[in-house]
Structure 1
Amino acid sequence: MTTYGQFCPVAKAMDVLDERWTLLVVRELLAGSTHFNELRRGNPRMSPALLAKRLRTLERAGVVRRTEDAGRPTYRLTRAGEALRPVVDALGAWGVRWISELGDEDLDPHLLFWDVRRTVPVAAWPPGPTAVEFHLDDVGRDVARWWLVVRSGDADLCDVDPGIEPAVVVRSGLRALTRVWRGDVSWDGALRAGDVELVGPAAVRREVPRWIGQSDLASVPRPAA
């Protein structure tokens, strides 16, 4: 690992944290991912080899602790790693406020629905197994359909039909749904504009914004135009 060769505490911190993908791995660990495949799903464009390398670096730096759970490697943040939470939160808030432009390369359905799944307010959903189906109309057929399923108090993400009749179908483009999730536009605004369409009984359609919610950073105030 190359270093800045400075005694400055900022430089010392960046010796560990400014390698590409490192803070995004920390972000996933802060969000609750503990296994290698979960970390990959949160960073779908990161190669397995690079993820393994970054985890080793963070482990050597005392940021991550690797243990075995029934023979399966488990990764958790140490006290030093948990102390990065306000740093990551502040970076996220800064990005929402000051870097709002989304290029085509920033749009990824795998990451979008993985992020949605882990913050689903399951208590707001009906008590029995319930599915919401998503149709994306501006991506390839292999990534155009997704299902969010809540049962027994857990949320699951499927990219193949789970065999549960969906309570409602959400039709949208990937960019439009990503903007709703980020909080760039509200659910009501997207629905009124026709950028998002809900297909299903009226009573269920009214519940979808509450069932899905928005990103934890959606509430960050944007600067005035």
Structure 2
Amino acid sequence: MGTTYGQFCPVAKAMELLDERWTMLLVRELVLGSEHFNDLRRGLPRMSPSLLSKRLHQLVRAGVVDKVVDGKDVRYVLTPAGQELRPVVEAVGTWGARWIGELGDVDLDPKLLLWDMHRNVDHAAVPRGRTVVHFRFPELRGPAGRWWLVIMPPEEVDVCDTDPGHDVDVVVTSSLRDLTDVWRGARSWADALRAERVSFDGPATVRRDVPRWFPPSGFALVEHADGLVAL
């Protein structure tokens, strides 16, 4: 651990571990079910691999995470101590969703958005068999503006930044900010469609069902406060 506050208070002692840069976001990814190094990297795309390795080592040493090795398969799993951080992560996220205002441009990331969407698909609402959703962000140049989710039974979803080569069932076109606003609960699918902030291109039956595939979840359900905290 880095900072030592020199206080016996349990809050101070906990923060000596948890307020290291990226640590709580790494715990968030572990709470959300990511266990492999590459999956953790995809949820934290701006964190360097070396720093991720360092933070994982610190959490293992602190007894928050277990490193489970099975041949070449290496997983990072929360211990009972780590699982007790779930309500902490949820409380911080709820506070942020309720009180923090609009996102800046630097906060928008198509890779992170699609990664979050991929793990919140309602598989019961998606048609049987393989379903391919192509996302287009016209304002982003090159590969950053084109993404695919390949949804397969029973509960597998792949995030692709290159064309997976399958027939596309529906194309979702939006600005990155507008789709992020829908996903974080600042705007509903219905409102975004009416305002032509989001469009679906595909068979009518598919277009109708797309919002059911990606229902609001987690922090998107938090009611926003009127007086927001300025950062």
TM-score range, shorter chain: over 0.9
- Quote how far apart the aligned CAs of 1:111 are: 0.5
Question: Residues 157-168 of structure 1 correspond to what in structure 2 (within 5 A)?
Answer: 157-168=159-170
Runs ≥4 in structure 1, deviation > 4 angstroms? none
CA contact (8 A) 1:130 1:164 kept: no
Unaligned 5+ residue runs, structure 1? none
Between 44-53 and 200-209, the greater mean CA deviation after superposition: 200-209
CA contact (8 A) 1:116 1:215 kept: no
Unaligned 5+ residue runs, structure 2? none
Equivalenced residue count is 225
Cα shift readout 1:190-215 (whole Å, capped 9, x = no counterpart): 11111101111111111000012234
Partner residue of 2:131? Answer: 130
User: Percent identity of the aligned residues?
Assistant: 58
CA contact (8 A) 1:133 1:166 kept: yes
CA distance in 1, matches of 2:144, 2:137: 8
- Quote how far apart the aligned CAs of 1:17 are: 0.1
Whether 1:186 and 2:188 are equivalent positions in the alignment is: yes
- Quote how far apart the aligned CAs of 1:123 are: 1.6
RMSD over aligned CA atoms reads 1.1
Normalised by the size of structure 1, how large is the TM-score? 0.97
Cα shift readout 1:83-129 (whole Å, capped 9, x = no counterpart): 00000001111111111210000000111000000111112111111
Question: Residues 204-215 of structure 1 correspond to what in structure 2 (within 5 A)?
Answer: 204-215=206-217
CA contact (8 A) 2:143 2:162 kept: no
CA contact (8 A) 2:67 2:76 kept: yes
Whether 1:120 and 2:118 are equivalent positions in the alignment is: no
CA distance in 2, matches of 1:115, 1:67: 25
- Quote how far apart the aligned CAs of 1:27 are: 0.3
Whether 1:90 and 2:91 are equivalent positions in the alignment is: yes
Question: Residues 169-180 of structure 1 correspond to what in structure 2 (within 5 A)?
Answer: 169-180=171-182
CA distance in 1, matches of 2:170, 2:18: 42
CA distance in 1, matches of 2:3, 2:170: 51
User: Which SS does the other structure have where 1:124 is aligned?
Assistant: coil
CA contact (8 A) 1:132 1:168 kept: yes
CA distance in 2, matches of 1:138, 1:13: 42
CA contact (8 A) 2:41 2:49 kept: yes
Question: Residues 23-102 of structure 1 correspond to what in structure 2 (within 5 A)?
Answer: 23-102=24-103
CA distance in 1, matches of 2:68, 2:77: 8
